[in-house]
Amino acid sequence: MFCVPIHRLDQTLPLPLYSSKGAVAFDLYAREETIIEPQEIGLVPGNIIVEIPEGYALFLAPRSSLPRKKALIFPHSIGIVDQDFCGPEDEIMMQVYNIGKDPVTIERGERIAQGVFVKMERAQWKEVAQVNAATRGGFGSTG
C-alpha cells in the first residue's frame, strides 16, 4: 500500500472509498448535483485533486450499474489521469453521456465512477524496417 496526497474540494463529502477488503478500485463521489440532458455529454465534478505517485496512472471507469440505473456511459470508455494533472484547478471530472430519452440527475454525493491506480512504464521507441511478429491476418482475425 502507498500513500497518495489528495485534496477534497468539499470536505463534507467522504474521501474515496474502497468498498470491500478485496476491492481494487475506489469509488468517486459527485461534488454537486449535475443534470445530463438526453443524448448529451456532461462533466460531473469528482471533488478531488490527486497527486498521482511517480510511475502510476489513475484510470477512471464507470461503476458497473451506471448504464442500467442511470442510462449513462463513459463516452471515452475509460479516463486516464496523468501524473502532472494535479494543479489547484485540476479537479477529477467524470465525463458521461446520457444514452436515454430523459434528463438524468446525478445527486451530490452519488457514486458514479471508480478509480484504480495502475503501474505504468514509458516506452522508448526503436524504429525498425520490419517487426518480427507472426502474421495473424489483421483486426478480428481470430474470430
pLDDT single digits (tens) 38-63: 999 999 999 999 999 999 999 999 99
pLDDT of residue 134: 66
Residue scoring higher pLDDT (139 or 70)? 70
* Residue 55: all three cell numbers together: 510511475
Tell me which CATH homologous superfamily contains domain 6-119.
Deoxyuridine triphosphatase (dUTPase) (2.70.40.10)
Once rounded to an integer, what is the mean pLDDT over residues 102-108? 98
Name the nearest CA neighbour of 53 among 1, 110, 3: 3
pLDDT single digits (tens) 60-88: 999 999 999 999 999 998 999 999 999 99
Once rounded to an integer, what is the mean pLDDT over residues 91-117? 97
What is the SS3 string spanning the chain?
Answer: CCCCCEEECCCCCCCCECCCCCCCCEEEECCCCEEECCCCEEEEECCEEECCCCCEEEEEEECCCHHHHHCEECCCCCEEECCCCCCCCCCCEEEEEECCCCCEEECCCCEEEEEEEEECCCCCCCCCCCCCCCCCCCCCCCC
Once rounded to an integer, what is the mean pLDDT over residues 20-46? 97
Domain ranges of the chain: 6-119
Distance CA 36, CA 22 (A): 32
